[in-house]
C-alpha cells in the first residue's frame, strides 16, 4: 500500500471540509435545510463594474496565455495606489508587491521559502489553522503564543520574550484578528516591530479583514522600519466579495519577495489576466463601496448579536471584521456537544472556537455571510429551545 509522505504528520482534513459533508448529509435527510452561520465566504457579489471588467477582458483574444509570475503591472500598480490611499504605505509596484492566487497560497509560499526542520515558528492561539498546518508541513515546530480577552486578544510580548527564541524565524500575526475580531493599535504594531528586530524574527501580518466593519484600516507596514522585518498578506476576498476569484497579494521588502518568488514560480503559471484586470478595477473603487458593504454587515451583526444573546453568549461590540466571537455560558459543559445539539435540533450550524486553538475552547463564532432573512429564520428556530 502506498503511504502518504511523512511530512503530512498529524495534519488533518480541514474542520469545515468535514463539517460541510455532515451538513450535506443532514440536508439530504431533512426537508428543513441547515442554516449555516459558520463559514466566512461572502455571499454578496463584487461591484458590477468589476464583473463587467472581467467580461470585457475575457473576450480579448490575447488575454488567455500564461502570465507573469510577478503579476500584471496593472494589478501591481492598483495595489500600490490602494496601499497609499487607505494605509498610508508607499510601495514600489515593481519590487515590493507580489500578487497571489489568493492570500492563502501566500502563507504556504512564505513558510516553504523560509522554514525547514529545526526552525521554530510563533503561532497564535486562537488563530487561523493554516498557520500551524503549513509550519508543520515544512518540518518546523510551531510554538504557540496565547491570545486572551483580558489583553484585547493581543500577544504578551514580554512573556514571549522570556522564552528561548533563538530558533524562531517567523511569527504569524493577524490583525484585525480572526476569529476574535480584535483590532490592533498603531502602538501595538510599533511594539511588535521592535520585538521582531530585537529577536531577529520575520513578522507576517495576515490582513484581509481591515475594511470590514472597521473605519480605520491599518497596515503593519505603515510603522517606521517595518519593512526591515515584516511582510503583509492582503486579499480581495472579504473586502471586495471576491473570495472565489482567488486574488491576494504579498507586500514588503524587495529581497524577501524575490526569495518567495523563487518558490512561487515553481508552483503556478500566473493568474488569468482578465481576473487581474478586474481586480485592479476593484481596488480603484471609491470609499462608498466599503461604506455600503458595511451598512449591510451592520444590519446582519445586529441579528448575530441577538442570536448570541439568546444563547447566553458574551461578546464584544467593539470587535471588527466578518464574525461575531462570543464566550459560551458557564453552564455549558461540552461546547462541541452543545453546538451539535443546536445543529441537530434546530438545523443551525455555528462554528466552535476550539478549531482555532485551545484558548478558543469556550468560544463560538458566527459569520456575517448570510442575508438578514437567514438570520431571522435562525432566530426563530432557536427561540424557546433549551440546548443545555
Q: Please write the tens of the pLDDT for every residue from 147-188.
A: 999 999 999 999 999 999 999 999 999 999 999 999 999 999
Q: Which strands, in side-by-side order, build the sheet including 323-327?
A: 314-315, 323-327, 363-367, 351-352
Residues in contact with 167: Cβ distance below 8 Å, sequence separation at least 6, in sequence order: 118, 119, 120, 141
Give 203's strand partners. 171, 230
Residue range 63-285, CATH number: 3.40.640.10
Mean pLDDT, rounded, for 314-336: 95
Q: What is the pLDDT of residue 22?
A: 83
Closest CA to 321 of 303, 335, 300: 300
Helix, strand, or coil (residue 231)? strand
- Give the angle 122-314-306 at the CA atoms, nearest 5°: 125
pLDDT confidence of 388, banded at 50, 70, 90? low
Q: Are 221 and 230 contacting, i.e. CB atoms less than 8 angstroms apart?
A: yes
- Gap between the Cα atoms of 228 and 226, Å rounded: 5
Average pLDDT, the chain: 94
Per-domain residue ranges of the chain:
6-45+288-382, 63-285
Q: Which CATH number fits domain 6-45+288-382: 3.90.1150.10, 3.30.420.40, 3.40.50.880, 3.40.50.2300?
A: 3.90.1150.10
pLDDT of residue 10 exceeding 70? no
Q: What is the pTM of this model?
A: 0.92
**Residue burial 339-367, b: 16+ Cβ < 10 Å; e: rest:** beebbeebbbbbbbbbbbbebbbbbbbbb
Q: Are 203 and 160 contacting, i.e. CB atoms less than 8 angstroms apart?
A: no
**pLDDT tens digit string along 11-28?**
566 677 787 888 888 888
Mean pLDDT, rounded, for 75-97: 98
- Gap between the Cα atoms of 184 and 317, Å rounded: 15
**pLDDT tens digit string along 44-80?**
999 999 999 999 999 999 999 889 889 999 999 999 9
Amino acid at each position: 500500500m502506498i503511504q502518504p509522505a511523512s511530512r503530512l504528520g498529524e495534519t488533518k482534513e480541514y474542520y469545515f471540509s468535514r463539517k460541510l459533508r455532515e451538513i450535506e448529509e443532514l440536508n439530504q435527510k431533512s426537508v428543513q435545510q441547515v442554516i449555516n452561520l459558520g463559514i466566512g465566504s461572502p455571499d454578496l457579489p463584487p461591484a458590477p463594474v468589476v464583473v463587467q471588467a472581467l467580461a470585457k477582458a475575457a473576450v480579448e483574444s490575447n488575454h488567455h496565455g500564461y502570465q507573469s509570475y510577478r503579476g500584471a503591472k496593472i494589478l501591481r500598480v492598483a495595489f500600490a495606489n490602494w496601499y497609499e490611499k487607505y494605509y498610508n504605505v508607499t510601495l514600489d509596484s515593481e519590487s515590493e508587491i507580489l500578487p497571489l492566487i489568493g492570500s492563502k497560497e501566500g502563507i504556504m509560499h512564505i513558510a516553504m521559502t523560509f522554514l525547514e526542520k529545526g526552525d521554530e515558528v510563533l503561532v497564535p492561539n486562537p488563530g487561523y489553522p493554516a498557520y500551524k498546518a503549513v509550519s508543520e508541513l515544512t518540518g518546523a515546530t510551531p510554538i504557540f503564543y496565547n491570545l486572551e480577552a483580558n489583553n484585547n486578544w493581543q500577544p504578551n510580548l514580554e512573556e514571549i520574550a522570556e522564552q528561548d527564541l533563538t530558533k524562531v524565524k517567523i511569527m504569524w500575526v493577524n490583525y484585525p484578528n480572526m476569529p476574535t475580531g480584535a483590532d490592533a493599535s498603531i502602538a501595538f504594531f510599533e511594539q511588535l516591530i521592535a520585538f521582531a528586530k530585537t529577536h531577529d524574527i520575520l513578522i507576517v501580518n495576515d490582513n484581509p479583514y481591515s475594511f470590514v466593519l472597521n473605519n480605520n484600516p491599518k497596515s503593519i507596514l505603515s510603522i517606521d522600519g517595518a519593512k526591515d522585518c515584516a511582510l503583509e498578506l492582503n486579499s480581495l476576498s472579504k473586502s471586495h466579495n471576491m473570495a472565489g476569484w482567488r486574488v491576494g497579494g504579498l507586500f514588503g521588502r524587495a529581497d524577501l519577495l524575490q526569495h518567495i518568488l523563487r518558490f512561487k514560480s515553481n508552483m503556478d503559471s500566473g493568474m488569468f489576466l482578465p481576473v487581474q484586470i478586474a481586480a485592479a478595477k476593484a481596488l480603484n473603487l471609491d470609499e462608498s463601496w466599503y461604506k455600503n458593504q458595511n451598512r449591510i454587515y451592520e444590519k446582519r451583526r445586529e441579528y448575530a448579536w441577538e442570536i448570541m444573546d439568546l444563547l447566553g453568549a458574551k461578546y464584544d461590540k467593539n470587535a471588527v471584521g466578518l464574525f461575531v466571537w462570543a464566550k459560551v455560558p458557564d453552564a455549558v459543559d461540552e461546547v462541541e456537544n452543545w453546538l451539535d445539539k443546536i445543529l441537530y435540533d434546530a438545523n443551525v450550524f455555528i462554528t466552535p472556537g476550539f478549531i482555532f486553538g485551545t484558548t478558543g475552547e469556550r468560544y463560538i463564532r458566527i459569520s456575517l455571510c448570510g442575508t438578514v432573512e437567514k438570520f431571522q429564520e435562525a432566530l426563530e428556530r432557536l427561540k424557546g429551545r433549551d440546548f443545555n
